Structure 1
Amino acid sequence: MPHHAPLTNHHADGTDCPAEHKHTTSGKPLHPDCPGRAYTQAICSCGDWQMKSPSKGYVNESRRRHLASHPKPHPTGPEVLRSLLHLNAR
């Protein structure tokens, strides 16, 4: 199973900032009930990596780099069986 590290936005008090709370690129709120995005966080399902920063772009870039460092899972299913058994018809 591939690893994942979803991005989550947070208010200054540590509470989640829901996806429906839209912001400017600097994190200022466009939603009337939102105090603003204080930081973005990503935690990898591998358990060995996490990133927290006020810059959402930096967290996302670091997240992509980290996820790319994980080995790709081996494919399964009929395609693998065909290649193992050399049953590809020509």
Structure 2
Amino acid sequence: MHRAPLTSHHADNSTCPPEHKHTTSGKPLTQGCPGRAYAQARCSCGNWQMKDAGKGYVNESRRRHLASHPKPTPPEPRLLGDLLRLDTP
């Protein structure tokens, strides 16, 4: 299953820790944080990434991309005889 974590970044490209809170426009609510300059997501498939000032836009694009990957197929159901082990003494 693929993952595309959403991360926030400062203007100097350093990662903004998840515990730092911001307004919807990216202004810092945590003392000492310069604010969120952009949000970024990269898929583990290696074929998709997005970087934009709008966190909501990146998050929606991330969800759409992840939904485009085929869902893993569940394993075939086992036969009842295998589950009950009818051959035991």
Q: What TM-score, normalized by structure 2, do the two folds share?
A: 0.86
Matches within 5 A, 1:6-45: 6-45=5-44
DSSP 3-state at the match of 2:15: coil
Q: CA offsets, 1:21-80, max 9 Å, x none?
A: 10011100001110000000000000000000000000000000000000001113xxx2
Shift of 1:14: 0.2
Mapped to 2, the partners of 1:3 and 1:16 lie a distance apart of 22
CA distance in 2, matches of 1:71, 1:30: 39
Cα distance in 2 for partners of 1:10, 1:32 equals: 16
Aligned to 2:72: 73
Q: Quote the offset at 1:20 in angstroms.
A: 1.1
Amino acid at match of 1:75: P
Give unpaired runs (5+ residues) of structure 2: 81-89
Identity, % of aligned positions: 75
Instruction: From the CA coordinates, give the structure whose radius of gyration is larger.
Output: 2
Runs of 4+ in 1 over 6 A off after TM superposition: none
Farther-moved stretch of structure 1 (67-76 vs 35-44): 67-76
- For the aligned residue pairs, the C-alpha RMSD in angstroms reads 1.4
